[in-house]
């Protein structure tokens, strides 16, 4: 067993712009590298950026760290801001990001380590 601390200035932030999952300028930083139990990452969305509609094979929890964003499914969308969280059940078609709020948004995303994502 061990405890691993990663300082805020450590770790690599990766440009995810252009990946099939995203529309617009997006960057991400993995916080749980090497874990087989969870995935955890900070994802930064520029104004107007968001994910495409997608689903995961595990539940997903999002915690907004800064800014204003949106999360939605095929029927509803919700404005979310700093301190808000969203829980998305496994298999739910959904999207999230800064969207058309005019603000950038960063969130923490946590899922099971073996979760698979499908872009729709």
Q: What does the pLDDT look like over 36-61, one tens digit per residue?
A: 999 999 999 999 999 999 999 999 99
Phi and psi for 85 in degrees, rounded to 5? -130, 155
DSSP classification of residue 32: S
- 105 CB-contact burial (10 Å; exposed 0-12 / middle 13-18 / buried 19+): buried
Q: Alpha-carbon distance 9 to 47, whole Å?
A: 23
Q: Is the pLDDT of residue 1 over 80?
A: no
Average pLDDT over the chain reads 95
Does residue 90 surpass a pLDDT of 80?
Answer: yes
Cβ atoms of 120 and 81 within 8 Å: the answer is no
Predicted TM-score of the model (pTM): 0.93
pLDDT, tens digit (0-9, with 9 covering 90-100), for 57-86: 999 999 999 999 999 999 999 999 999 999
pLDDT at 64: 98
Which domains are delineated in the chain? 13-113 (2.60.120.10)
């Amino acid at each position: 067993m061990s405890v691993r601390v990663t300082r805020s200035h450590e770790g690599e932030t990766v440009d995810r712009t252009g990946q099939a999952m995203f529309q617009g300028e997006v960057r991400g930083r993995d916080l749980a590298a090497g874990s087989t139990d969870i995935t955890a990452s900070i994802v930064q969305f520029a104004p107007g950026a968001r994910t495409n509609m997608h689903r995961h094979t595990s539940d997903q929890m999002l915690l907004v760290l800064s800014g204003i964003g949106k999360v939605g499914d095929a029927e509803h969308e919700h404005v979310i801001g700093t301190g808000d969280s969203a829980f998305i059940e496994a298999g739910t078609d959904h999207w999230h990001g800064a969207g058309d709020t005019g603000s950038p948004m960063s969130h923490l995303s946590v899922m099971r380590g073996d979760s698979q994502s499908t872009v729709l």
